Amino acid sequence: AQSVTQLDSQVPVFEEAPVELRCNYSSSVSVYLFWYVQYPNQGLQLLLKYLSGSTLVESINGFEAEFNKSQTSFHLRKPSVHISDTAEYFCAVSHTGFQKLVFGTGTRLLVSP
């Protein structure tokens, strides 16, 4: 069975500082990995995904994540955060070839001025 661990429930950071949100997964088979973002009182939106190929994936708003198979990790990073990045971030995994997603418990990113 798959599982996803997001160790940090909340990450406070000052505006323009770098941030890393951690995600580790466990699976005995090949996986696809995702980061979703949820802004207050909204549904989830895809931020970025790893399916195959380059292990470094990027989003249009400056986030990036690196798939590390040996460490079974898919940490999310941004070199300089904005107030508008305040949201909850969910890491998710699925088996290759299946559509069911298993989500982590989420990390709330709090960006203050």
Cβ 16 to other proteins, closest distance in Å? 29
Answer yes or no whether residue 10 interacts with other proteins by CB under 8 A: no
Query: Which value, to the nearest 10 degrees, does the dihedral of the CA atoms of residues 15, 20, 22, 23 take?
Result: 100
Measured CA to CA, the distance from residue 28 to residue 69 in angstroms comes to 12
Binding window for other proteins (CB under 8 A); candidates: 17-25, 62-70, 76-84, 98-106: 98-106
20 to 39: interface string for other proteins, x by CB under 8 A: ------------x---x---
Answer yes or no whether residue 98 interacts with other proteins by CB under 8 A: yes
Binding window for other proteins (CB under 8 A); candidates: 21-29, 54-62, 76-84, 95-103: 95-103
